[in-house]
Amino acid sequence: MSWTLTETALTRLLQCLDADPDLAGQKYEDLRRTLTRYFEWNGARYSSEDLTDETLLRAARKLDEGVEILNLGGYCYRIAQLVFKESLKKPDQRWVALDDMEREPVAPVDDDDAPEDDQRRRCLNVCLAELTPQNRELIIEFYRDDKRDKINRRKALAERLGIPRNALGNRAQRLRDKLQECIEKCLRKKTAT
């Protein structure tokens, strides 16, 4: 049975970083960026963010099991080294791209003088094109369908990628935030011209 990150485990992880919740949140984001860069700089074959999620989940699990960690950054670095080595040995089906999943193409909008909704859609297309193919497909698949179909698709997507559903949700949220920032920048450029 796979372990799932709980609110209690996340709280322990954050408290291990700092007693002040605001500082703990900042330190958590700093640690995420550091781990992601580690994987990128070492030429990870798979998503650096997925490997970072795996590293942090393992650290949270150890804390949840009662292991005392005095230096979480150093501990996570050692876990990251193991996760990286494991990723080199993993068969491709665990980290597979989403190439054979059903999806509809995103239609580009070419009219520069289009109304605001069309401009937003055009900016979305531009920003989606800036993502890696795997991240683009992940975000499209994550937000496809409604209600029960969406739940089933997300469950299948998490299983296909070999990651917990909460890690998939976190990854999708980070991609959504990145897209939102990119879209806002794009719209500001359009209004400035």
Q: Does domain 116-192 have CATH number 1.10.10?
A: yes
* Start-to-end Cα distance in the chain: 55
pTM (whole model) above 0.75: no
Comparison of pLDDT for 93 and 126, the residue scoring more: 126
102-111, 158-167, 181-190 — most confident range: 181-190
Contact 101, 161 (CB under 8 A): no
Provide CB contacts within 8 A for 162, sequence distance 6+: 93, 94, 95
| 16 class by beta-carbon count within 10 Å (0-12 exposed, 13-18 middle, 19+ buried) | buried
Q: What is the pLDDT of residue 31?
A: 92
Vertex 32: Cα angle to 137 and 42 (nearest 5): 75
CA–CA separation, 113 vs 110, rounded Å? 9
pLDDT band, very low/low/confident/very high, at 103 (cuts 50, 70, 90): very low
pLDDT confidence bin for 75, thresholds 50/70/90: very high
73 contacts 21 by C-beta, under 8 angstroms: no
How far, CA to CA in Å, does 37 sit from each of 51, 70, 163?
11, 23, 20
pLDDT for residue 59: 93
- Give the CA angle between residues 180, 36, 178 to the nearest 5°: 5
The predicted model gives 34-43 an average pLDDT of: 83
Q: Where do the domains of the chain lie?
A: 7-89, 116-192
pLDDT band (50, 70, 90) for residue 146: low
Within 13 Å, how many C-alpha atoms sit on residue 188's CB side?
A: 6
Does the pLDDT at position 92 exceed 60?
no
pLDDT band at 193 (very low <50, low <70, confident <90, very high): low
Instruction: Name the pLDDT band for 162 (thresholds 50, 70, 90).
Output: confident
The closest alpha carbon to 174, from 19, 52, 23, belongs to 52
Give residue 80's pLDDT. 92
